[in-house]
Amino acid sequence: MDKVDYLKVFREIVAEMDGADDCGEVATYIPELANVDPNKLGMHLTTVSNDNYSLGDSDEKFSIQSIAKVWSLTLVLKILGKETWKRLGVEPSGNAFNSLVQLEYEKGIPRNPFINAGAIVICDMLVSLLEVPKVDLLNFIRKSSGIESIDYSPGIAESEIQTGHRNYALANLMKDFGNIHNDIGTVLDLYFNLCSIELTCKELAQAFLFLASKGVNPFNNETVISPRRTKRINSIMLMCGFYDEAGEFAFRTGLPGKSGVGGGIVAIHPGEFCIAVFSPKLNKRGNSYKGMKVLEGVTTKTNSSIF
Ligand code: GLN
């Protein structure tokens, strides 16, 4: 089969968006996000056989925020297996990523590992499971991605700690229901550091390629997780990766994906590729406006999705 010229596809999509499409707002809750140039637009696609296609600001580092929640889930699943699901679910929330309401009437059990409450429970599990949680999680991220230079960004983490009142509220509510076992400050320190990681589109596409290749990272042949659990992670990304817009993303793109409020999106085509897009202006649901457009364009123009 002929190789798809994804660069040509990227160029077409960008040309079509040019001028016509400039919606959304950059996240402003911390200065590190508010000060990002709103006009940045980068994309990078890596195939499982290591063909690479990039356009625009694909080598620009940005705050990956909630995209990093894929790693924390992967590590907990690797260690705990199905025990993980005693304390959180795998259902779409249909609510904002930081909503408190559902958590109250569902007695402190988050709907899934990607809304903030779910990611905080996952961090609580990691605090219990790992010897030196911050160091061990970072080592796992470096090893699984094959990118040794990945690090937390102390400035971003500190800003998040200073402004993350709602995340403290979520953690306190869950602690009251008995679903947070460790000290809230320690758990949220891990959570905010996880969210603080900065990467380029190119690095992201490499880091999550294991999800397109049955759990093995083709860059360093590292077995990150089993094929069965790779299936589960992709399924949760498809159903829950975009919070209360997960249905819309699946409908438009037809791929599992995960977004972050830094304006990044990673999407997986199992057996084919991993793609990362960065455009900081967010829609009302906190997902990158242009990022979603680019991914919809890629699967529509190449007539390929998981469906
Ligand atoms: N750090 C952000 C928060 O905790 C992450 C949210 C996101 O990227 N959706 O609110």
CA 285 – CA 262 distance, rounded (Å): 13
Q: Is 63 in the pocket of ligand 1 (CB under 6 A)?
A: no
| pLDDT, position 150 | 98
Which residues, listed in sequence order, are joined to residue 25 by a DSSP beta bridge? 282
The alpha carbon of 1 and the centre of ligand 1 are apart by a number of angstroms equal to 40
CA 216 – CA 224 distance, rounded (Å): 6
| pLDDT, position 19 | 73
| pLDDT, position 6 | 98
Residue 237 CB: number of other CB atoms within 10 A? 27
Number of H helices, E strands in the chain: 13, 11
Alpha helices in the chain (DSSP H): 6-17, 31-34, 69-80, 101-105, 116-129, 133-145, 154-163, 165-176, 184-195, 201-207, 227-240, 246-253, 289-301
CA 232 – CA 80 distance, rounded (Å): 14
One-letter identity of residue 106:
E
Q: Tens digits of per-residue pLDDT, 248-284?
A: 999 999 999 999 999 999 999 999 999 999 999 999 9
The alpha carbon of 161 and the centre of ligand 1 are apart by a number of angstroms equal to 12
State which residues of the chain have pLDDT below 70. Answer: 1
CA 202 – CA 300 distance, rounded (Å): 22
From the candidate CATH numbers 1.10.4030.10, 3.30.590.10, 3.30.1460.30, 3.40.710.10, the one assigned to the domain spanning 6-302:
3.40.710.10
Q: What is the best residue among 29, 30, 64, 66 to mutate for testing ligand 1's pocket, by most ligand atoms within 8 Å of CB? A: 66
Residue 166 Rama label (left phi>0; alpha psi -120 to 50; beta): alpha
Q: 69-80 and 133-145 helices cross at what angle (nearest 10)? A: 100
- Give the β-pairing of 198-199 and 62-63: antiparallel
Three-state DSSP at 156 gives helix
Q: What are phi and psi of 265, to 5 degrees?
A: -140, 140
| pLDDT, position 2 | 77
| pLDDT, position 1 | 63
Which residues, listed in sequence order, are joined to residue 278 by a DSSP beta bridge? 42, 264
Burial class of residue 190 (count of CB atoms within 10 Å of its CB; 0-12, 13-18, 19+): buried
CA 61 – CA 79 distance, rounded (Å): 30
| pLDDT, position 20 | 73
Q: Determine contact, residues 16/297, Cβ cutoff 8 Å.
A: yes
Q: Is 98 in the pocket of ligand 1 (CB under 6 A)?
A: yes
Q: Is 167 in the pocket of ligand 1 (CB under 6 A)?
A: yes
